[in-house]
């Protein structure tokens, strides 16, 4: 399924999210929006690490694995073209 980062940022602008780096002893970090979670991931090396961001919704969780997280980092609002 293709990811539309702009739609994801809008759809999950107030959703609880968690960021989990796939390294030993790395705790998950909680945020109140997808954009905040992606900014945290970007600022902490998520562009070069194995990572997962989970959006916690009432009926289901949506997980974005490494490749999709990289797409979201690249599409952060106000940062197009920056890496």
Could you tell me if residue 15 is inside a domain? yes
pTM for the complete prediction?
A: 0.88
Q: How far is CA 73 from the centre of its chain?
A: 7
Q: Which residue has the higher pLDDT, 80 or 67?
A: 67
Could you tell me if residue 62 is inside a domain? yes
The confidence score (pLDDT) of residue 47 equals 86
Could you tell me if residue 51 is inside a domain? yes
Does 60 score more than 60 pLDDT? yes
Could you tell me if residue 13 is inside a domain? yes
The number of distinct structural domains making up the chain is: 1
Could you tell me if residue 83 is inside a domain? no
Could you tell me if residue 82 is inside a domain? no
Q: How far is CA 68 from the centre of its chain?
A: 8
Could you tell me if residue 81 is inside a domain? no
The confidence score (pLDDT) of residue 83 equals 44
- CA dihedral in degrees (15, 5, 72, 68; nearest 10)? 100
Enclosing domain of residue 10? 5-23+32-75
- Mean pLDDT confidence for 56-80: 91
pLDDT in tens, 12-56: 999 999 999 998 888 899 999 999 999 999 999 888 889 999 999
């Amino acid at each position: 399924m293709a990811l539309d980062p702009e739609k994801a940022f809008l759809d999950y602008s107030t959703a609880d999210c968690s960021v989990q780096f796939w390294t030993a002893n790395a705790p998950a970090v909680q945020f109140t929006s997808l954009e905040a979670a992606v900014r945290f991931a970007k600022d902490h090396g998520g562009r070069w690490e194995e990572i997962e961001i989970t959006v916690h919704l009432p009926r289901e969780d949506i997980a974005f694995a490494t490749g999709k997280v990289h797409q979201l980092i690249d599409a952060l609002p106000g940062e197009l073209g920056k890496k």
